[in-house]
Amino acid sequence: MATNEELLLVHRDMPYVTRAKRYDLILTPQFYIFKKESLPIKYHYQAMKLAPSILDELTGAGAYSYAVIQEDDGWAFIAYDMGKIETFLAEKGLSKNLINKIYFAQQAKEHFKYPVSADEKNAIVTVDDTVVILPKSIVAEEEYGIVTNAFRPDKGVSPVQSRTMLVTQQQAIILSLLLIVLAVGYFVQGIKYQNAMTHIDRNIEKAKAKSPEIKGKSNFLLKNLYESNYALDSTQRKIRDRLKDLSKLTSKVSKIDTLKITPQGYEVSIATNQKSIPKLKKYAKSKKLKVVKNTTGFMLKGAL
Amino acid sequence: MFRKYQNELIVLFSALLLLGAVLFQYVSYGALQKKSKESIALISQFEDIATMKKLWGKSKTRARVLGNIQRTLAKEKVKKFKIEKNKAYIILENLTGTELNKIVGKQFASIPVQITELAIARDGEKYRLELKCKW
């Protein structure tokens, strides 16, 4: 896609320049390795996959990025070291952060058919469909062209694309989509749980509405109400259970002298004979009634 | 900076989004489990409150039930049978063991009144019963 940024021709002997705005680069063959192959490949991505192996013999050590250009008679494979290019640009006063698009001179081979001056000694020119840098002495032109916006090819490489990354853009998109789909799934599930909680709240309110004793009261108040009622219910049931237990201690020989039972506890004195005391004690123990030592009879005293 | 690591940042952002969604789901699930348990207990408590209030709370029939018991007793044995609003103070005297068992075990204990004090004292073969209760 064409841009409106300034198009800078990058060659080894370019002058020191500074730019405050974003700019596009057109790299001369000094900054890339080029090989043309006539292969039965239809799609760009297939050519991109082959680029490293095709250029393997030409590239030395370095972190190379690759580009491919479809030409009339085959594919042009390009390898370039973005790190080195950025270092060079920094030496020439250009910030790598302002690079918008990177183009290769090979992409503009039609424009370089008329030689363009690179510096005092060299010119860029298309020879046999390949853009090369030649000494001006060989080119022997009296006048040289200049790079204009008309040179800008249709497609350029983004500096981000050219950088060696942990994940490619395609991988990033696929992975992100996968993660987002999962996230949506979990989020929807979470929403369902939230809705279920609202439903529970409604059920609680419905349950409250059923009973006039608790209608309109807060959960905190109801908790206190439950605790106080539970304590009362529990105490009164214990009183009745204790009365039932104590009544079983009486017989023809064992009679209640005094009995007092309150929500706080019980106190019972039973008149009996010495023979019956072990039996009474055994029963009291089975019912967890506390026996008080008493010389005159049998006495029980304790909390409910 | 963003352009430099845009692919990694996109993946990182998506991963964070997933993490957030997982946390949201996890927290919501935990809250739902808790609420579900609480609601079961709460609704059960509502029913218990209603039942207990009905059982031990204010009632117009308690005084009548106690009055019915009074009518079954011989007058000379009733020393005091005072019913005031939602309180009762009863003193019965000269009860035999059988009468005492019947009155305490089968009558007073089966009425849902709040017993605040029940006292029994024996005098020979006879018993004195004192009961304070409310409702």
Binary contact (B50, A168; C-beta < 8 A): no
- Contact yes or no for A264/A278 (Cβ under 8 A): no
Q: What is the mean pLDDT of residues A178-202?
A: 95
Q: Which pLDDT band holds residue B23 (cuts at 50, 70, 90)?
A: very high
Task: Report the alpha-carbon distance of residue A244 to residue A285 in Å, rounded.
Answer: 15
pLDDT at B61: 84
**Same domain (yes/no): B51, B105:** no
Lowest mean pLDDT among A31-45, A189-203, A206-220, A271-285: A206-220
Q: What is the mean pLDDT of residues B30-52?
A: 90
Q: Per-residue DSSP letters for A246-288?
A: HHTT--SS-EEEEEEEETTEEEEEEE--TTTHHHHHHHHHHTT
* Range B33-39 contact pairs with CB under 8 angstroms and sequence separation of 24 or more: B35/A197, B35/A200, B35/A201, B36/A200, B39/A200, B39/A203, B39/A204
Q: What is the mean pLDDT of residues B76-95?
A: 90
In chain B the first and final C-alpha atoms are separated, in Å, by 78
**Same domain (yes/no): B80, B106:** yes
**Same domain (yes/no): B16, B81:** no
Lookup result for tokens 């019915």: B68
Residue A284 has pLDDT above 60, yes or no: yes
Residue B90 has pLDDT above 90, yes or no: yes
pLDDT at A295: 61
**Same domain (yes/no): B21, B69:** no
Using alpha carbons, list the distances in angstroms from residue A14 to A7, A8, A21, A137, A178: 14, 10, 19, 19, 46
**Same domain (yes/no): B79, B93:** yes
Kindly identify which residue of chain B lies nearest to residue A265, measuring between CA atoms: B117
**Same domain (yes/no): B73, B42:** no
pLDDT at A162: 57
Question: Which of A166, A222, A240 is the best substitution to test chain B (most B C-beta atoms within 10 A)?
Answer: A240
- Contact yes or no for B28/B34 (Cβ under 8 A): no
Locate A266 and state its tokens: 């019980």
Q: Based on the structure, what is the number of domains in chain B? A: 2
**Same domain (yes/no): B72, B124:** yes
Question: Which of B3, B7, B128, B130 is the best substitution to test chain A (most A C-beta atoms within 10 A)?
Answer: B7
Core vs surface per residue B30-54: b (16+ CB within 10 A) or e? eebeebeeebeebbebbeebbebbe
Residue B29 has pLDDT above 70, yes or no: yes
Q: What is the mean pLDDT of residues B17-37?
A: 96
pLDDT at A77: 93
For the entire predicted model, the pTM comes to: 0.54
Binary contact (B14, A180; C-beta < 8 A): yes
Domains and CATH numbers, chain A: 6-164 (no CATH), 237-302 (3.30.1360)
**Sign of the torsion angle spanned by Cα atoms A273, A275, A278, A282:** negative
Q: What is the mean pLDDT of residues A129-140?
A: 86
Considering B29, B56, B83, which residue would you say is the last residue of a domain?
B56
Residue A54 has pLDDT above 80, yes or no: yes
Identity of the residue in A160, A194, A230 whose CB atom sits nearest the CB atom of B6: A160
Amino acid in the structure at residue A267? E
Q: Is A110 helix (H, G, I), strand (E, B) or coil?
A: coil
**Same domain (yes/no): B42, B93:** no
Q: Is B118 helix (H, G, I), strand (E, B) or coil?
A: strand
Question: Which of B16, B42, B48 is the best substitution to test chain A (most A C-beta atoms within 10 A)?
Answer: B42
Q: What is the mean pLDDT of residues A73-87?
A: 89
Q: Which pLDDT band holds residue B7 (cuts at 50, 70, 90)?
A: confident
- Contact yes or no for A207/A217 (Cβ under 8 A): no
Task: Report the alpha-carbon distance of residue B114 to residue A153 in Å, rounded.
Answer: 99
Residue A1 has pLDDT above 80, yes or no: no
Domain that holds residue B101: 61-134
Locate B11 and state its tokens: 């993946």
**Same domain (yes/no): B49, B69:** no
Q: Which pLDDT band holds residue B1 (cuts at 50, 70, 90)?
A: low
Q: What is the mean pLDDT of chain A?
A: 87
Q: In what order do the strands lie in the sheet with A116-117?
A: A116-117, A122-127, A130-135
**Same domain (yes/no): B80, B110:** yes
Task: Report the alpha-carbon distance of residue A154 to residue A248 in Å, rounded.
Answer: 107
B44–chain A Cβ distance below 8 A for any pair: no
Q: Give the number of other CB atoms < 10 A from CB of residue B4.
A: 14
Q: What is the mean pLDDT of residues B52-77?
A: 85
Binary contact (A213, B31; C-beta < 8 A): no
pLDDT at A117: 86
Q: Is A126 helix (H, G, I), strand (E, B) or coil?
A: strand
H or E element: which one contains A144? none
- Contact yes or no for B120/A258 (Cβ under 8 A): yes
- Contact yes or no for A144/A117 (Cβ under 8 A): yes
**Same domain (yes/no): B37, B75:** no
Residue A2 has pLDDT above 80, yes or no: no
Task: Report the alpha-carbon distance of residue A114 to residue A276 in Å, rounded.
Answer: 133
Residue B27 with chain A: CB contacts under 8 Å: 190
pLDDT at B55: 87
pLDDT at A3: 62
Residue A155 has pLDDT above 70, yes or no: yes
pLDDT at B65: 85
Q: Give the number of other CB atoms < 10 A from CB of residue A118.
A: 24
pLDDT at B6: 79
**Contacts across the A-B interface (CB distance below 8 Å):** 175
The ipTM assigned to this model is 0.79
Q: Which residue has the higher pLDDT, B2 or A188?
A: A188
**Same domain (yes/no): B80, B38:** no
Q: Which residue has the higher pLDDT, A82 or B121?
A: B121
